Amino acid sequence: MNNLVVYNHGKDSIPWGEKALALAEVAEDRGFEFISPDYQASNDPEWRVDRLLAMDLHGYERIVLAGSSMGAYVATVAAETIKPHGLFLIAPAFYLPGYARDRFAPGTENIEVFHGWQDDVVPPENAWRFCREHRARLHVLDSDHRLLSILPLMAAAFDRFLRELAP
């Protein structure tokens, strides 16, 4: 396989939680290799960005960066350097105190964002602000920060997202 999805887990999450497992199944069905680095050693988002940028991602025809919450921030900041074919972001931790960046240059026009109306960690307005600036596809649904209640819908959207990236 020369297509790759790199999933970046959230601050207090694990590399192979429910979202990662659901997206991995979709990615593998679409012919993408799927990796989920373990960032549990540090809750510093910039440390996580550095870890992602240190990975050897050469040799892949298509790279998609995905992430949830802090992991979506990590994917987006790293995308400036990696220039992936797509970004799939779940409740992205944008415009929050303690994060070094509040301006982004994602390196791709293929961006899809999921966010919950009931998110009490990252306000939905933050996702809207990012999507408006970057003309990204935004889904705001009746769910909380983890978005597990809409996981089947998100997985179906991820399937379409990967299909649309095919040549």
3-state secondary structure of 31: coil
Domains of the chain in start order, with CATH, are 3-165 (3.40.50.1820)
> Rounded to an integer, what distance in angstroms lies between the CA atom of residue 113 and that of residue 136?
7
Average pLDDT of every residue of the chain: 97
Helix (H, G, I), strand (E, B) or coil at 137: strand
pLDDT at 167 over 90: no
For the chain, give the percent of residues with pLDDT over 70: 99
In degrees, rounded to 5, the angle at the alpha carbon of residue 31 between the alpha carbons of residues 27 and 36 is: 40
Q: At which residue do the structure tokens 């659901």 appear?
A: 22
Q: What is the pLDDT of residue 1?
A: 58
pLDDT digits (tens, 9 = 90+) for 102-140: 999 999 999 999 999 999 999 999 999 999 999 999 999
**pLDDT tens for residues 55-68?**
999 999 999 999 99
**pLDDT tens by residue, 68-91:** 999 999 999 999 999 999 999 999
CA distances 80 to 5, 77, 157, 164, Å, are: 16, 6, 24, 21
Q: Which residues contact 78 (CB under 8 A, 6 or more apart)?
A: 49, 52, 53, 65
